[in-house]
Structure 1
């Protein structure tokens, strides 16, 4: 072997060693040493998009600067998230961070339990913001005691109704406090020409093609329906749709529909269309107080005289208040697949990134944008958007990606939005939790999504007058026979273990 060959071999060996030490390929570059949590991070994020278009790079660049990272977003439109996320889970086409919001989806739960994602529970205490996540929130976000991602922290219950206040005033109606008053408002908004144009072209309730985020779930809360499941003192589980309160809600909704007080096309209407109908003055009642600013923005050029009032407390006449809680304050998980995040060191660097997103600086970037450009504080210290169109393009898509919506409280300059925020916080006092959130059922993981379609279809048919109570109860029995009974038994067994 000649001297030149020996020299070349030595150089090659040295180069290989240096590449290995410095992270010569993409995988090694991502794997920061455990003590190097401030190193530059390249992170891919499979995330849900709740707006019509992805954001510009304006805020993304500032977030990258603040978190010392380069972020590649793979945006999934909210309308197609179920198909896209389940396909990604099945194919393994994932990212460093995967936003999972469908925590009751059978494919999602099965993937979580399969060991596809890291258990982050043991690491949260190492990071200042993540360490502050309340124990009950971590418990609610866990499956059989394992936390498969950083929970998105939200208020316990954000639901409620929004009414056209200007229509109420024109018709001499008070803001409703009971279900009977809600029905009367829906009737008047349909029959009494609330917009004063002399044409019968308005409907009380706008709605959309789902049970959970439509008027039905909120109305069912007002009737006292359990949230998902009722747990008797004996530990027996009863699904919400097998209760009298659920039947009462269906009868109420059916009466609204039969009389034309509920949008006749609700079963085929998407959320965006529901919002447009409200903004165009076609409907006067909207479900979801959290959307009050979006409705105001959509209507600003269409309904210049529109006034809105959010309402969170509606009783069935007994003076008691109930509102369903989605996920017990958990909006899903920021999960880290082991196929992409291969080492503990890499996981910790990603957790540091998420921790930084909860800092006030990052929170404000994802909420308001740049002070003086997108927002300002008025003389009363209230938060105010300066340029709505610019804010929508640059900032709004990031708001649903904040790891915590409750870390900081802003006073909103819009009194309607400020009231809605206060009512959402007040909902914590009478929020009804779903007892199965921290529990697991293998059958529900495998069949739950498909089985729910039986109930959804049966409920819609009943509301639209296409079936009767006997047919609905037959559908419930079909649910039980097709796996529902097994789901019930598995939840009861899992609940029993938590009571020891």
Structure 2
């Protein structure tokens, strides 16, 4: 795929590349005479309210963007959705589309060249080039200004914290549901064994026990597991359970206010003991340490196991699977249960890429305000509906206040063809879109995500980097996984587990703890 422009754009010749920091900061000099190159947020010369009141009287704001492209072809200039977007935001958009496989390289090239768009989609926010550029003052700091915009001011504080650099926000996140994992289970089996959806750890255990011992598929055979588990390198799904028992999400505070990794806490040990109980009673498959994720999925779908750690995004596909249909099966999902510490759900980062505003191409506070106003408008109901559903009457209709997709429309009016990858501008800082008509399984998915987000537990080191972990992370993660497997399988006891933790500390873990704590305490 080639990088292409929508409208007036031009390509950046590699020959014009110059040193990164010098190129970026050349356009920043003089913006803050007291601290050249500083990233302090600008004072507002025009409030968002004033901007909205005068939009209809102003010429469209010419805005250059670099966006990521998934589709083989970029949208055409005459796309009705692109035109509607420009009309809704009062902009004249000049978009550079970059294929996903090339965007990190392209980002580094244009950072070095200094020929930057006014708004950039950044796929790899934690890359050294982006972090170094932010620290050098190459991007506007948006944190202090975000409260001036009605939609942006409602940004999730935890997710904004996850994209801080040295305690400051230089980026706006593209939202991804932060707490969308749980335990998928065979709801038809649960009915067969006469139980209700579990709300506590004990009830969850009872469900798995019944799935193992009470012939939940009613075939007269003793051939089912309570739950399928599989090999996972980073223990992401295991942490669903560890949080039930009070463990932090990867990293959390101890009683002294210092950061500690989850696997060194009492809550994590309690979760290990729970998983060992499931293993000892053969409620989970005995070969979990070598089983792949795909095989575990098959066990849920073909009726070998009644539950599985899973992402809610898989529910619709699984419910539509032919094997579930043949069994008259029904898939349900549990977000979290109470293990004596209240409801706690595992959160990811909460974003998939970020948007950043370079100082080299946005030189004045007035321009900065217009770019921020554009980002704010992207979160309005009008624009969110446009980017999600298309144009009313052309791509969808409404029934009882709900969006209903129009399936029988001419090919030229199909949403995918006319929207292309413009939905990457669905920032999603707030959910202002009109609700759509959903299938029951989709309602389960959205309900889980909403309920989990209310009780989400975030990783406290997400904003920080450890040099030691960057170099030795794979080795240290493997050690963590191995000690979990050994304990659950009974190869080591609690004393043996603590000895394994000591090995982790000596192998570089102590340095990781110190590096994260130094940054965390400095930014408290």
Residue matched to 1:224: 246
Residue of structure 2 aligned with 1:407, choices 431, 437, 440: 431
Residue matched to 1:170: 192
C-alpha distance in 2 between matches for 1:201 and 1:345: 68
Three-state SS of the structure 2 residue aligned to 1:278 is: helix
TM-score under structure 1 length normalisation:
0.70
The answer as to 2:269 corresponding to 1:244 is no
RMSD after superposition? 4.8
Deviation of 1:476 after TM superposition, in Å, equals 1.9
Residue of structure 1 aligned with 2:330, choices 297, 300, 307: 307
The answer as to 2:44 corresponding to 1:26 is no
* Structure 2 residues without counterparts, runs of 5 or longer: 1-6, 14-26, 28-57, 87-92
The answer as to 2:172 corresponding to 1:150 is yes
Judge conservation of contact 1:157–1:427 (CA < 8 Å) in 2: yes
Judge conservation of contact 1:206–1:274 (CA < 8 Å) in 2: yes
Residue matched to 2:276: 254
C-alpha distance in 1 between matches for 2:316 and 2:422: 15
Residue matched to 2:162: 140
- Give the count of matched residue pairs: 448
Judge conservation of contact 1:213–1:287 (CA < 8 Å) in 2: no
* Structure 1 residues without counterparts, runs of 5 or longer: 1-21, 48-53, 77-83
C-alpha distance in 2 between matches for 1:276 and 1:130: 42
Post-superposition CA distance 1:271-300 (Å, at most 9, x none): 565545434444332334632643455426
C-alpha distance in 1 between matches for 2:486 and 2:406: 46
Deviation of 1:220 after TM superposition, in Å, equals 0.8
Residue matched to 1:490: 515
Residue of structure 2 aligned with 1:45, choices 51, 68, 79: 68
Judge conservation of contact 2:319–2:441 (CA < 8 Å) in 1: no
Residue of structure 2 aligned with 1:98, choices 98, 122, 141: 122
Q: How has the CA–CA distance of structure 1 residues 147 and 460 changed in structure 2, closer, same or farther, with 3 Å as cutoff? A: farther
Deviation of 1:148 after TM superposition, in Å, equals 4.5
C-alpha distance in 1 between matches for 2:134 and 2:95: 24
Three-state SS of the structure 1 residue aligned to 2:165 is: coil
The answer as to 2:520 corresponding to 1:463 is no
Residue matched to 1:188: 210
Residue matched to 1:443: 468
Q: How has the CA–CA distance of structure 1 residues 154 and 482 changed in structure 2, closer, same or farther, with 3 Å as cutoff? A: same
TM-score under structure 2 length normalisation:
0.68
C-alpha distance in 1 between matches for 2:284 and 2:263: 21
Judge conservation of contact 1:443–1:483 (CA < 8 Å) in 2: yes
Q: How has the CA–CA distance of structure 1 residues 63 and 436 changed in structure 2, closer, same or farther, with 3 Å as cutoff? A: farther
Deviation of 1:383 after TM superposition, in Å, equals 4.9
Judge conservation of contact 1:225–1:243 (CA < 8 Å) in 2: yes
Judge conservation of contact 1:358–1:404 (CA < 8 Å) in 2: yes
Q: How has the CA–CA distance of structure 1 residues 406 and 127 changed in structure 2, closer, same or farther, with 3 Å as cutoff? A: closer
Judge conservation of contact 2:279–2:488 (CA < 8 Å) in 1: yes
Deviation of 1:225 after TM superposition, in Å, equals 0.9
